[in-house]
């Protein structure tokens, strides 16, 4: 467990960044809310079976279960649902990624207000540097010609970022001792409570292809189980503002992966932005934690 705690931040960034790759593979074959609903529904039986062997104590208190469900609605259902919906309406992925880049800053603000976490001046400066670097990384991907950039889509994505920011702090405050696997199971129940009703407004026309099956398998096993449990572990062990700073690295990792997998180019400005982001996260990770 001690070794896992050391490599968890790097492993989380690597796994979480592949969510874009999996979504890009599966998107042409299924609508967004149906995609998320199938993904979340597939996770539940796997987690339940794993829980039969590894969960020592399932939460029996209705309040504890309720907190897990609320966390799942915020972190998975509203966040992913909002971003997927906005992109489906034509909002460029690069534009949404810039708004999502506000998450570490918003999480830090909510952490101060909700759990009294003290953020040092060095931490705030590091987040500003990280945000600037993120702008350089994502700037070339921002396409103003996209007709999907509207007040509605921008508002939906921004609300989604608020949801995951609040959900991250909420999990730290109200779900501190629940078994990670059991908590994750109930979180996906909460996620389904959001995406299932919304998916009823879609046609549910699914074209089953090799790409969709591979994408679903990857998103279910690697993202929805592996990466999320790592995130819950990181939140439990550290200051949420420091954990949130890792999300600065996700677009950087995704840009590098896209370079190798899809041949997308990287400019010198993007590389400079990546260096700023990495430096900022290193500063944040070494900043003293005070609560």
**pLDDT digit string (tens) for 17-47?**
777 677 778 888 999 999 999 999 999 999 9
Per residue, the 3-state secondary structure of 85-117, as one string, reads HHHHCCCCHHHHHHHHCCHHHHHHHHHHHHHCC
Structural domain for 123, as ranges = 1-284
Contact at 8 Å (CB) between 123 and 108?
yes
Phi, psi of 290 (to 5 degrees): -135, 130
Query: Is the residue at 233 inside a domain?
Result: yes
Look at residue 203 and tell me whether its pLDDT is greater than 50. Answer: yes
Q: Distance between CA 247 and CA 244 in Å, rounded?
A: 6
Question: For residue 94, what pLDDT band results from cuts at 50, 70 and 90?
Answer: low
Q: Distance between CA 123 and CA 165 in Å, rounded?
A: 17
More confident of the two residues 14 and 138: 14
pLDDT mean across residues, the chain = 80
pLDDT of residue 217: 93
Query: Is the residue at 291 inside a domain?
Result: no
pLDDT of residue 266: 66
Look at residue 291 and tell me whether its pLDDT is greater than 50. Answer: no
Q: Diameter of the chain by CA atoms?
A: 54
Look at residue 147 and tell me whether its pLDDT is greater than 60. Answer: no
pTM of the complete model: 0.78
Least confident interval from 26-30, 259-263, 270-274: 259-263
Look at residue 95 and tell me whether its pLDDT is greater than 80. Answer: no
Query: Is the residue at 290 inside a domain?
Result: no
> What's the mean pLDDT in 76-86?
89
Query: Is the residue at 110 inside a domain?
Result: yes
Query: Facing residues of 290 across strands?
Result: 118
Query: Is the residue at 78 inside a domain?
Result: yes
pLDDT of residue 200: 95
Residues 6 or more apart in contact with residue 123 via CB below 8 angstroms: 108, 241, 242, 283, 284, 287
pLDDT of residue 148: 63
Query: Is the residue at 217 inside a domain?
Result: yes
> Coil, strand, or helix at residue 118?
strand
Query: Is the residue at 243 inside a domain?
Result: yes
Domain count, the chain: 1
Find, among 158, 137, 146, 84, the residue nearest to 255 by Cα. Answer: 137
Q: Distance between CA 59 and CA 200 in Å, rounded?
A: 31
Q: Distance between CA 180 and CA 168 in Å, rounded?
A: 14
Query: Is the residue at 289 inside a domain?
Result: no
Question: For residue 131, what pLDDT band results from cuts at 50, 70 and 90?
Answer: confident
CA torsion 94-281-164-115 (nearest 10°) is: -160
> What's the mean pLDDT in 218-235?
86
Joined tokens for residue 40: 């979340």
Angular region, 96: left φ>0, alpha ψ -120 to 50, beta rest: alpha
pLDDT of residue 77: 95
Contact at 8 Å (CB) between 119 and 241?
yes
- Environment class of 47 (CB within 10 Å of its CB; exposed 0-12, middle 13-18, buried 19+): buried
More confident of the two residues 83 and 38: 38
């Amino acid at each position: 467990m001690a070794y896992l705690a050391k490599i968890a931040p790097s492993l989380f960034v690597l796994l979480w960044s592949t969510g874009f790759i999996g979504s890009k593979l599966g998107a042409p074959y299924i609508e967004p809310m149906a995609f998320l609903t199938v993904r979340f529904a597939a996770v539940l039986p796997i987690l339940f079976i794993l829980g039969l062997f590894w969960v020592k104590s399932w939460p029996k208190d209705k309040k504890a279960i309720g907190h897990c469900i609320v966390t799942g609605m915020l972190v998975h259902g509203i966040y992913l649902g909002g971003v997927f919906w906005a992109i489906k309406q034509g909002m460029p992925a690069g534009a949404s990624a810039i708004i999502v880049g506000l998450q570490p800053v918003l999480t830090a603000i909510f952490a101060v207000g909700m759990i009294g976490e003290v953020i040092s001046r060095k931490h705030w400066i590091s987040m500003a540097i990280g945000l600037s670097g993120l702008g350089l990384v994502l700037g070339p991907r921002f396409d103003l010609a996209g007709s999907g950039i509207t007040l509605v889509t921008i508002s939906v994505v921004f609300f989604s970022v608020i949801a995951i920011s609040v959900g991250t702090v909420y999990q730290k405050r109200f779900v501190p001792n629940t078994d990670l696997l059991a908590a994750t199971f109930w979180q996906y129940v909460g996620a389904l409570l959001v995406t299932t009703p919304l998916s009823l407004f879609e046609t549910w026309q699914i074209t089953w292809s090799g790409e969709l099956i591979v994408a679903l398998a990857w998103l279910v096993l690697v993202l929805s189980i592996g990466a999320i449990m790592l995130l819950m572990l990181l939140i439990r062990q550290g200051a949420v503002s420091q954990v949130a700073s890792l999300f600065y690295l996700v677009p950087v990792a995704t840009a590098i992966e896209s370079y190798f997998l899809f041949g997308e180019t990287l400019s010198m400005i993007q590389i400079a932005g990546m260096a700023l982001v990495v430096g900022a996260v290193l500063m944040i990770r070494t900043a003293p934690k005070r609560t």
